[in-house]
């Protein structure tokens, strides 16, 4: 199969770019002497995970139990589920543990910590649980200086069905940074608060074996990892236009695009229609208000390479996208009806989630249009048989 024959819209993944992105992050984190625990919430693919795990210790991060079950089913045995656990989800976790998978959970509430401990004892298992620390994102987590930190740590340590596994922080507010110095400052803040939380737990006589932090920007641009044991990051594997604008990658590093077919020309309106709309691209507008507002995506040749200057997907309907040109004159003749383009996404986590597979290409290979392989993805939240 080749890209000029593949049914569209379809998700395309450049293998060389993926490998380079993974190698760059692995080297950055290894250079600071800590372990990288790749976050698979973006890629959701065992094949991508294998590339990301090259040179690393083998543990991963996930954002859903669906992902945990999928990756466990493919042989991954050390999984951090980095979203606050609630007791109703513990039966699925216990089922994975019975298969020999070490699943680490996070909590940010003393009552939940006690409930997890109680449920672990009922299920005759021990849940490995970290305390989630909020380094400033204002999502989940407790303040590193809070009484709740110690109360949760103690509940986990004392509970029959839990083991205190450490502390975990995610500086998602690094996405608001607009230069690398600001990213580095957020990274240092993330590190200091996580290490501060770990020191407070230890001073209270509690164990804190793991100190886990991370986001793609802070993982790449942190200046120190003192006191940390591991770093988590995920979107770096694929990259997107938002990450390119905040300095996590170059546009030429973006590994994923949506292959689309030109289905119409509106010369009267200055628009080229493609068969990739809101479902194929997502409605993420995270580049809105940034120096390069990409609309719903930049438009590159089907064979890959640099985006075509001035072209964006300006508007989306459920299954239609409208390409416009900054100069008002899109290249109708160069993009006839039936021809194909590759749309680079604002936010690859959202875009890739609409597809159940990647089509592997290699722009550096002998035929950039050749699909060398098809890699599956998991999506959704439903249980996966392990």
* Binding-site ranges for a copy of itself (CB under 8 A): 5, 7-10, 41, 63-65, 83-89, 92, 108-109, 111-112, 115, 138-140, 143, 172, 261-266, 268-269, 271, 273, 275, 278-280, 282-285, 317-320, 322, 337-338, 349-350, 353-357, 379-383
Closest distance between a copy of itself and the C-beta of residue 339, in Å? Answer: 9
Closest distance between a copy of itself and the C-beta of residue 381, in Å? Answer: 6
Listed in order, strand segments (DSSP E) in the chain are: 10-14, 35-38, 60-62, 78-81, 102-107, 127-133, 162-169, 210-213, 230-233, 256-266, 271-274, 298-301, 311-316, 321-325, 340-344, 357-361, 373-376
CA distance 228 to 133: 14
Q: Which is nearer to a copy of itself, 178 or 269 (CB)?
A: 269
In eight-state DSSP terms, residue 142 is B
Closest distance between a copy of itself and the C-beta of residue 108, in Å? Answer: 6
Q: Which is nearer to a copy of itself, 42 or 229 (CB)?
A: 42
Closest distance between a copy of itself and the C-beta of residue 140, in Å? Answer: 5
- 251 in Cβ contact with 54 (< 8 Å): no
- DSSP for 68-85, please give it: HHHHHHTT--EEEE-S--
Closest distance between a copy of itself and the C-beta of residue 82, in Å? Answer: 9
Q: Which is nearer to a copy of itself, 34 or 343 (CB)?
A: 343
Closest distance between a copy of itself and the C-beta of residue 169, in Å? Answer: 15
Q: Which is nearer to a copy of itself, 34 or 153 (CB)?
A: 153
The enclosing H or E element of 221 equals helix 216-221
For 83, other C-beta atoms within 10 Å of its C-beta total 16
Closest distance between a copy of itself and the C-beta of residue 278, in Å? Answer: 6
Cα radius of gyration (the chain): 22
Q: Which is nearer to a copy of itself, 92 or 102 (CB)?
A: 92
CA distance 185 to 135: 12
CA distances from 333 to 38, 262, 304, 337, 355 (A): 43, 12, 19, 9, 30
Closest distance between a copy of itself and the C-beta of residue 268, in Å? Answer: 8
Widest CA span of the chain, in angstroms?
73
Token pair listed for 11: 């998700």
Q: Which is nearer to a copy of itself, 229 or 282 (CB)?
A: 282
Token pair listed for 197: 């939380």
Q: Which is nearer to a copy of itself, 85 or 211 (CB)?
A: 85
Token pair listed for 50: 């294998």
Report the chain's terminal Cα–Cα distance, integer Å. 31
Q: Which is nearer to a copy of itself, 24 or 92 (CB)?
A: 92
Vertex 210, ends 110 and 77: CA angle to 5°?
100
Q: Which is nearer to a copy of itself, 206 or 273 (CB)?
A: 273
Closest distance between a copy of itself and the C-beta of residue 9, in Å? Answer: 6
């Amino acid at each position: 199969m080749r890209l000029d024959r593949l049914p569209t819209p379809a998700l395309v993944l450049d293998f060389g770019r993926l490998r380079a992105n993974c190698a760059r992050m692995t080297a950055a984190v290894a250079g600071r002497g800590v372990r990288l625990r790749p976050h698979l919430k973006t890629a959701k693919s065992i094949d991508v995970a294998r590339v990301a795990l090259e040179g690393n210790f083998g543990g991963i991060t996930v954002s859903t139990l669906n992902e945990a079950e999928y990756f466990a089913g493919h042989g991954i045995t050390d999984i951090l589920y980095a979203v606050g656990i609630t007791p109703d989800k513990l039966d699925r976790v216990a089922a994975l543990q019975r298969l020999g998978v070490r699943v680490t959970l996070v909590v940010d509430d003393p009552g939940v910590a006690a409930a997890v401990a109680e449920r672990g004892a009922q299920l005759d298992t021990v849940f490995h649980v970290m305390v989630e620390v909020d380094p400033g994102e204002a999502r989940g987590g407790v303040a590193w200086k809070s009484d709740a930190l110690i109360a949760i740590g103690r509940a986990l340590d004392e509970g029959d069905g839990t083991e205190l596994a450490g502390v975990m922080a995610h500086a998602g507010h690094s996405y608001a940074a607009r230069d690398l110095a600001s990213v580095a400052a957020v990274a240092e803040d993330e590190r200091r608060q996580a290490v501060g939380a770990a020191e407070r737990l230890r001073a209270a006589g509690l164990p804190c074996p793991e100190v886990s932090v991370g986001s793609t920007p802070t993982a790449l641009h942190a200046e120190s990892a003192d006191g940390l044991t591991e770093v988590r990051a995920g979107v770096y594997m694929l990259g997107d236009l938002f990450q390119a604008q905040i300095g996590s990658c170059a546009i030429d590093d973006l590994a994923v695009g949506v292959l689309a077919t030109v289905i119409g020309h509106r010369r009267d309106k200055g628009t080229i229609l493609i068969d990739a709309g809101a479902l194929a691209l997502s409605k993420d507008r995270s580049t809105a208000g940034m120096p390069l507002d990409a609309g719903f995506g930049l438009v590159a040749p089907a064979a890959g390479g640099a985006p075509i200057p001035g072209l964006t997907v300006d508007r989306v309907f459920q299954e239609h996208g409208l390409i416009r040109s900054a100069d008002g004159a899109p290249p109708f003749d160069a993009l006839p009806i039936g021809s194909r383009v590759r749309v680079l996404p604002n936010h690859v986590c959202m875009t890739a989630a609409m597809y159940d597979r990647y089509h592997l290409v290699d722009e550096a290979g002998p035929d950039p249009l050749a699909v060398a392989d098809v890699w599956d993805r998991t999506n959704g939240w439903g249980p996966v048989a392990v």
